[in-house]
Amino acid sequence: MARVFHATAGSSRTVRKRGGIVAGYLAPHPPHLVYAENPPQNEPRSTGGWEVLRWGYEELRRRLAAHAPDVLVVHAPHWITMVGHHVNCVPNPRGISVEPIFPHLFRYHYDFATDVDLAEAIVAEAADAGLVASAMRDPGVRVDYATIGALHLANPAWDIPVVSLSANNNPYFYSDAALDEMETLGAATARAIERTGRRAVLLASNSLSHLHWDREPDLPEDMGVERPFDHHQYAGDMELLQVVREGPTERLRTAVPKHIAATQAETKAGSLTWLLAAMGWPAIAGDVLAYGTVIATGNAVVEWVP
Ligand SMILES: [Fe+2]
């Protein structure tokens, strides 16, 4: 009797998953993008809006899935810790994340898993590197909307464990002085990922130029009024993105502080510098998947594959 095998091409091969940082994304968090998508977790309803940025995120999701990471590590500007760098070590954060300026757009019910081993390893590596670092273990601390926004937009299925890092600064400081520490934090993050053998994707949750309107249209998603704050802010974003697209990332060591000075950019919270430092400032170009404004702020979705 003949033996019949039903095998898919390639299925007999053993695929060994490589650890380390397999990709990094600039993944901005405007609550409007989540609102526009109408996910079941968010209470407010919209008629859409900001489609080009959301199409960029759809491409990010396809690429992220192909990288098959064990964990998403996110650094976000609105978990502000004035003393030290904190890492969320709560195993299963659950609650409602509310955007304080736009509570009518973002009231998001979250429930996700933390990679606690990696989170604790990042705390230890950061402390060993001389940073003030702390493991946050209070399940009552509400997860900020910049962390939730980036994570939802990158992976709305929430089926990949997370490590969430705070911003040890205030993004509204008129300074880029905190960026040096982000180099150290990035290197510590990379060592922790190597030590734990994780296959990690990093998310830097920040916008670019960050001046925005102080009036909202009756329909928040009215794209008839969506535009850059002014030409200077737009041109500053394009100058930075030109460097991103040309590479190598080393040029961003000077381009990011220059952009911060020119546009009051949200990159001053350090997320992008942390991401590039963790990847070791690779000699590659970034792939800009989308750019668009949200209430006049500039936002780019970018991939780097080291
Ligand atoms: Fe923000």
pLDDT tens digits, one per residue of 84-94: 999 999 999 99
**275 vs 205: CA distance, rounded Å:** 10
Q: How many Å lie between the centroid of ligand 1 and the Cα of residue 11?
A: 44
Q: How many Å lie between the centroid of ligand 1 and the Cα of residue 6?
A: 51
Specify the pairing of strand 133-136 against strand 297-304. Answer: unpaired
Provide the terminal-to-terminal Cα distance of the chain, rounded to the nearest Å: 51
Does residue 6 have a pLDDT over 80? no
Residue type, 145: Y
Q: How many Å lie between the centroid of ligand 1 and the Cα of residue 53?
A: 15
Q: What is the pLDDT of residues 124-171, one digit of tens each?
A: 999 999 999 999 999 999 999 999 999 999 999 999 999 999 999 765
Q: How many Å lie between the centroid of ligand 1 and the Cα of residue 136?
A: 21
pLDDT attached to residue 176: 58
Which two three-digit tokens encode residue 98? 């509310």
Does residue 13 have a pLDDT over 90? no
pLDDT attached to residue 2: 37
Residue 19 buriedness (CB in 10 A; 0-12 / 13-18 / 19+): middle
**33 vs 295: CA distance, rounded Å:** 11
Which two three-digit tokens encode residue 158? 């929430």
Q: How many Å lie between the centroid of ligand 1 and the Cα of residue 168?
A: 15
Higher pLDDT, 82 or 73: 73
Q: How many Å lie between the centroid of ligand 1 and the Cα of residue 297?
A: 9
Does residue 108 have a pLDDT over 60? yes
Q: How many Å lie between the centroid of ligand 1 and the Cα of residue 140?
A: 22
> Side-chain half-sphere of 9: how many Cα atoms within 13 Å?
0
pTM of the model: 0.93
Report the alpha-carbon angle 188-87-58, nearest 5: 90
Q: How many Å lie between the centroid of ligand 1 and the Cα of residue 31?
A: 9
Q: How many Å lie between the centroid of ligand 1 and the Cα of residue 132?
A: 24
Residue whose tokens read 């990922």: 193
> Side-chain half-sphere of 43: how many Cα atoms within 13 Å?
13
Lowest mean per-residue pLDDT among 107-121, 167-181, 237-251: 167-181
pLDDT attached to residue 202: 98
pLDDT attached to residue 259: 95
Q: How many Å lie between the centroid of ligand 1 and the Cα of residue 29?
A: 6
What sign has the CA pseudo-torsion 160, 272, 276, 126? Answer: negative
Q: What is the mean pLDDT of residues 254-273?
A: 93
Does residue 225 have a pLDDT over 70? yes
For the chain, percent of residues with pLDDT exceeding 70: 92
Q: How many Å lie between the centroid of ligand 1 and the Cα of residue 9?
A: 46
Q: At what angle do helices 116-128 and 179-196 cross, to 10 degrees?
A: 130
pLDDT attached to residue 82: 87
Q: How many Å lie between the centroid of ligand 1 and the Cα of residue 302?
A: 17
Q: How many Å lie between the centroid of ligand 1 and the Cα of residue 239?
A: 21
Query: Average pLDDT of the chain?
Result: 92
Q: What is the mean pLDDT of residues 68-73?
A: 98
Q: How many Å lie between the centroid of ligand 1 and the Cα of residue 7?
A: 49
**302 vs 171: CA distance, rounded Å:** 21
> How many CB atoms within 10 Å of residue 85?
27
Q: How many Å lie between the centroid of ligand 1 and the Cα of residue 124?
A: 28
Q: How many Å lie between the centroid of ligand 1 and the Cα of residue 169?
A: 13
pLDDT attached to residue 264: 84
